[in-house]
């Protein structure tokens, strides 16, 4: 699954302390690989099959995005590395 956010009107680069607030409803968070994909295609891994057997992801990640232009379409990409669970991206925000 993928969810885009379009950013416009921001001058310059993103921040070295950008935040990504993620809310994913899922029955087994330990199966999830969560990436932020920058407008230029660079992938920033936020979560890689960690968190054990708990449900859901409700977490804010701090990411150094200073090398990225802020404007453009950013994508939150989520992959379920297993096959037996279900879930969806509830919401996410990007603080550049």
Give 20-50 pLDDT, tens digit per residue.
999 999 999 999 999 999 999 999 999 999 8
The pLDDT assigned to 38 comes to 98
* % residues pLDDT > 90 (the chain): 86
The pLDDT assigned to 51 comes to 75
What pTM was estimated for this model as a whole? 0.94
Nearest CA to 93 out of 30, 1, 3 is that of 3
Output the average pLDDT for the chain.
95
Task: Determine how many CB atoms are found less than 10 A away from the CB of residue 60.
Answer: 12
CATH of 2-82, one of 2.60.120.260, 1.10.3210.10, 3.40.50.720, 3.40.50.300: 2.60.120.260
Positive or negative torsion for Cα 40, 36, 86, 50: positive
Integer Cα distance of 89 and 73 in angstroms: 17
Average pLDDT over every residue of 52-68 = 94
């Amino acid at each position: 699954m993928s969810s885009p956010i379009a950013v416009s009107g921001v001058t310059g680069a993103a921040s070295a302390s950008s935040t990504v607030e993620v809310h994913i409803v899922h029955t087994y968070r330990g199966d999830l690989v969560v990436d932020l994909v920058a407008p230029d295609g660079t992938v920033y891994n936020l979560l890689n099959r960690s968190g054990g057997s708990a449900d859901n992801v409700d977490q804010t990640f701090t990411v150094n995005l200073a090398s990225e232009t802020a404007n453009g379409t950013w994508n939150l990409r989520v992959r379920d590395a297993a096959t037996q669970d279900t879930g969806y991206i509830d919401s996410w925000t990007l603080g550049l």
